[in-house]
Structure 1
């Protein structure tokens, strides 16, 4: 009887370990794409217009931004330089480096807590308050199509 008990215990333990191993393996690979930051693609869309942002940095601000997705925001014109939008809260910034933005950059502006799509960076230089998120490729006319209406923001890749 003791031998049968040991065999049953060994069989139950083996089945348990197989299930736990499969669960661990699935959880490690199930989020594989979501842990990648650089190269991730975030789509901003309203109506028939969509603009893709390719993440170019891995820093606390970018990771916090990605953690909020999906979300909806409004974009507006600012200073004939950029289209900006606000989050429901400020993003984490400690440990995120500043940047020297260029046209086509998407940034997070620390003091105001907004995201910005730069299209005219003439005269703008490096700032610790401007955190680089990534790049977009769209015309000013396409950016204008996102203004004044709810913009859906979601990670697509």
Structure 2
């Protein structure tokens, strides 16, 4: 755990010596032995660490706030996908949400998010989504009868939706 704490620390230089010193060790030997004996998949380690932090430390950067006037809608970023890791990196931003088709509110993001491996979603009221062909961000308020779409990817979950055609400030909750 001390090695992980060192990696996540604000150290200017992160090499064996500085990480060992940050962990209270006199030399990097202990950490090098640990790393040499461990075999693992870097993606699996990243996913495990992401889940650990999200579940146990409950950091606010996994909650995104959409604000307009006196209205705030909080969205929990629960899944660990390239899209949900990329979307928060675009924050903060202010975007106009507009009515679309009598079922949803949408806006155009400043750039496309990473859709690598996206599998689509079953449409539910209020949950935010990104439309892969165009890179839009939106919320359904009338998803009844729509089912599953391979072109949409869920970006979070919320039980609240009050964004009505206004400029919306989107940022991390922290």
TM over 0.5: yes
Residue in 1 that maps onto 2:169:
152
**TM-score, with normalisation over the residues of structure 1?**
0.70
Give runs of aligned pairs for residues 29-48 of structure 1, distance below 5 A: 36=53, 40-48=62-70
Is the Cα contact below 8 Å between 1:37 and 1:55 reproduced in 2?
no
Of 69, 73, 79, 1:51 maps to: 73
Q: CA RMSD in A?
A: 2.7
Kindly indicate whether structure 1 or structure 2 has the higher relative contact order, using CA contacts under 8 Å at least 6 residues apart: 1
2:155 paired with 1:133: yes
CA deviation vs aligned residue, 1:63-102 (integer Å, no higher than 9, x gap)? 1101111111111111111111111111110112211111
Residue in 1 that maps onto 2:22:
22
Q: Which runs of 5+ in 2 are unaligned?
A: 1-16, 24-48
Q: Which runs of 5+ in 1 are unaligned?
A: 1-16, 24-31
Between Structure 1 and Structure 2, the one with more strand by share is 1
What is the alpha-carbon distance in structure 2 between the residues aligned to residue 81 and residue 56 of structure 1?
Answer: 24
**TM-score, with normalisation over the residues of structure 2?**
0.64
CA deviation vs aligned residue, 1:25-61 (integer Å, no higher than 9, x gap)? xxxxxxx99x956771100112211111111211111
Q: From the CA coordinates, give the structure whose radius of gyration is larger.
A: 1
**Count, aligned residues:** 128
